[in-house]
A and B are shown apart, each in its own frame.
Chain A
Amino acid sequence: MTYRSAATGPLETYRRNVRRGLALVLSDRTTTTYLAIICGAFVLALVGPWIAPYEYNQTVYVDGRIHRLATPSLAHPLGTTWEGYDVLSRLLYGARPSVLTGVLGGGLIISVGLLVGVTAGWYGGNVDAALMRMTDVFYGVPLIPFAIVLVALLNIGFYTSIAVIGLLLWRNSARVLRAQVLQLKARPYVKAARATGAGNTRIVVRHVLPNIAPMAIMFFALGVGHSILIEASLSFLGIADPFVPSWGVMVRNAYNSGTMSRAWWWALPPGILIATLVVSFCMLGRKYGSMAGNEGNGTTY
């Protein structure tokens, strides 16, 4: 249509925003580092199972006996577990479920958060009141006990535990995004768009979403970190699927074996990886949120 040929369509704007956002992240050394760590985790999640020297549940035998709790060596750079599994291989396999939990959980959090927050903020009135009271109810739900009950009812499964995380943790983002929309609604450029006859959909797509995007990205990143962390907690408590070898399940197995104090090579690496990944997501989200918030809002040139 003529819309696109004039190169003023929303797609062009979104593409430019992504370009500028990425340039902003890469303009700072700390955010670049966090991004690199995250990319590394994604690569591991993608190729981990292929480059792992052993299967994640392959017991290694030496002289016909299970090679239990071997200290790190050339053959097993991170040693072996009580069951004789290669720790490095389990770590490589574990990247995928951990990263997947994060991305799906974070995605669910921000999707529900945006839907509820933008709808409440934009339409206001009773819609706002109803949605925000619902959010308050979700705020009242204690996460871990709720997850325990729900997962018990729905049976333990990898995807159900992600769903439980995502369908509870959207509450923070919904509240803050609603507040952002309320602010934007009163901005003169939004009023000018209304005065010009632009409809709700157009204004939300054209003005509201691009301007709350930095905040939404921040909540997505925080959500990813949170989801990974809570999945690890649920795994550690034994409420996640024990057959999916996520990093959280590894820590649980090490703990349950009763040998955690001796076999540091078993429990520490997954713990460190969880912490690094969560910190990277959260710090990237926070830093990006504040950098993008400072940029182009009229106070700086």
Chain B
Amino acid sequence: MGRDRKTVTAVDDVSLALRPGIAHGIVGESGCGKSSLLDVLAGLESVDGGAVTYDGRPTAEFSRRDWMAFRRDVQIVFQNPFESLDPKLTVREAIAEPLAVHSIDDRHERIETAVERVELRPVERYLEKLPHQLSGGERQRVSIARALVLEPSVLLADEPVSMLDVSTQANILSMLSSLIDELDLSVLYVSHDISTVGYLCDEVSVMYLGEVVESAPTNRLLGEPAHPYSRALIDAVPIPDPYAERERTALVGTPDGGGRDRTGCLFGDRCPDRTPACERRPEPVALEPTHRVSCHLYTEEPTDETAVRTPVPGEHHGGGR
């Protein structure tokens, strides 16, 4: 026991700041560390090195009391509608739990308001239902109601719609989007699906193997992705037109190919625009005050023999893959 512990670094060097009324999206492939990041931010996992600060104070210095205040203010919604609600608890009981934990009164009213907010109407039809009597979309709405009943200021969302069918996705996303404005929520929305992120979020960070490789306002990132990985992700979004001319994404492989042990750029082994400079880890560069990217294609001083290629949109699938 206890010997041979391996350290798996899931998330490294991620800096994010959340602001009220703003939804920040994080996209990346499965296994890139998105969910681990949320667990850390929700205080479910501790950080080794680095800090999560909340209202200007690192969570590592929190007292019991601070934690309770934090837990009241930061809520999380999970991905799998079949596992995000306790199968033994009714909707009312599930939503009442956070209120009971924080000894808040007038529960009836608060529970009903929360259920009303997530558009489960009429409210009384849902309160005594058990999860197996609800559809996937209804369950996710209940999860959101449970998260919102404490009136938090931060909502962490771990792919809350990725397992739902497309029409339900759209309904829940538009509901979330109006809730963000109405309640002035700071939202961190994590997904592998860049199209849902584009729909909901004001700004987006692209994550690869536990690091943020690019972050920018949503329109800018979708319109002019700078990092080769971001471009590949955006190219992979399906276009609902069978005759649309499009270029296929040039990515092969999976993001686990020993990438974390590399000394160079983490994306180096899969990058279509790889250059010798990629043997070193790139530093983040600001293309605009709000648009940052970690890629050697954009570093100021080219290293000796390597000429920096300025990518032209549409011409980024080089590398003969």
Contacts and interface: CB of A to CB of B under 8 A. Distances in A.
Given A6-B96, A296-B131, A192 B87 contact: no
Nearest to B132: A296
A191 B79 CA distance: 12
Given A196-B71, A197-B67, A191 B96 contact: no
Interface string B140-160: 000100110010000000000
Interface residues of A, number: 34
Given A17-B88, A126-B1, A196-B75, A298 B43 contact: no
A188 B84 contact: yes
A141 to B, nearest CB: 22
A11 to B, nearest CB: 11
Given A8-B92, A210-B88, A298-B132, A3 B76 contact: no
Interface in B26-72: 39, 42-44, 67-68, 71-72
A301 B139 CA distance: 13
A199 to B, nearest CB: 8
Given A195-B74, A196-B101, A197-B67, A8 B96 contact: yes
A286 interface: no
Contacts of B92: 6-8
A13 B89 contact: yes
A126 B72 CA distance: 31
B130 interface: yes
Given A6-B108, A196-B71, A301-B132, A211 B93 contact: no
Interface string A276-301: 00000000000000000001111111
Q: Which of B74, B75, B101, B108 has the most CB atoms of chain A within a 10 A radius of its CB?
A: B101
Contact of A193 (B43, B72, B77, B97): B97
A264 interface: no
Given A13-B88, A188-B80, A189-B85, A195 B100 contact: no
A2 interface: yes
B86 A211 contact: yes
15 contacts: A8-B93, A8-B107, A126-B2, A189-B83, A191-B42, A192-B143, A193-B97, A195-B43, A196-B71, A196-B150, A197-B71, A210-B86, A298-B83, A298-B132, A301-B132
